[in-house]
Amino acid sequence: MPVTQRNASRQRTRVGDEVSVRAKRILKTLEARMPTVRVELDSSTPLELLMATILSAQCTDERVNQVTPRLFAKYRTADDYGRAVPEELEALIRSTGFYKSKAKHLMGCGKAIHERFGGKVPGKMEDLTSLPGVGRKTANVILGSYFGQPAIVVDTHVKRVSNRLGFTMSQDPDRIELDLQKLFPEAKWTSGAQRLLLHGRYVCQARIPQCGKCVIEHDCFWEGKVRQT
């Protein structure tokens, strides 16, 4: 390898090592600020969390939590969703937006779980992502929260915070997931991603980031950071 290429390779390695060290430091700081983290969608079973996560697309967790008590009271099993009357289901979830397509996903998901997995939510990525309306983000929510598997959820908040912190240069959720997997210890995948999510939701917000309240401000080199006077 020519000298210039070796030097460039060493420079990339050095930069990568620095980001990795900073990422671990940031996770430690966020853990101190948020010792306990959980998904903010209310649920008591994997099926409930799965359905709530499908509903959360383009909708706030707060709104979903207002809808799900009645939903979960009416539909208790995967088969219940599979046999639902579309108009009745749509009426219950209307306020979450895109209710017609979400109703189709809930019904299709329930039917598939009943017919293919004996009524139980599967615990494998490939099985979950084979269900209607379930992508990697939703699957990772289930795997990390209920099955205890290391899983990095990449939603809009995680995407925004990861880019601002320089953990990734991508806007593609799958690429971001891979980048964070390389930076975070595997044991911290689930909790670390959830802390980034909550940090983005309440502090590192899209329109007006609360930089004055940010505990990792000293480790953030984002050019758009709101300077305090």
Q: So which residues are the catalytic ones? A: 137, 155
- The CA distance from 73 to 176, in Å, is 37
pTM of the model: 0.89
H or E segment to which residue 88 belongs: helix 86-93
Count the neighbouring beta carbons within 10 Å of the beta carbon of residue 94.
Answer: 14
Please determine, for residue 8, whether its predicted confidence score (pLDDT) is greater than 50: no
pLDDT digit string, tens, across residues 29-43: 999 999 999 999 999
pLDDT digit string, tens, across residues 76-134: 999 999 999 999 999 999 999 999 999 999 999 999 999 999 999 999 999 999 999 99
- The CA distance from 75 to 86, in Å, is 13
Whose CA is closest to 71, among 80, 58, 79, 60?
80
H or E segment to which residue 121 belongs: none
- The CA distance from 220 to 36, in Å, is 23
- The CA distance from 21 to 184, in Å, is 10
Structural domains of the chain, with CATH? 19-38+151-219 (1.10.1670.10), 46-146 (1.10.340.30)
| Higher-pLDDT residue of 226, 54 | 54
Please determine, for residue 228, whether its predicted confidence score (pLDDT) is greater than 60: no
Based on C-alpha coordinates, what's the Rg of the chain?
20
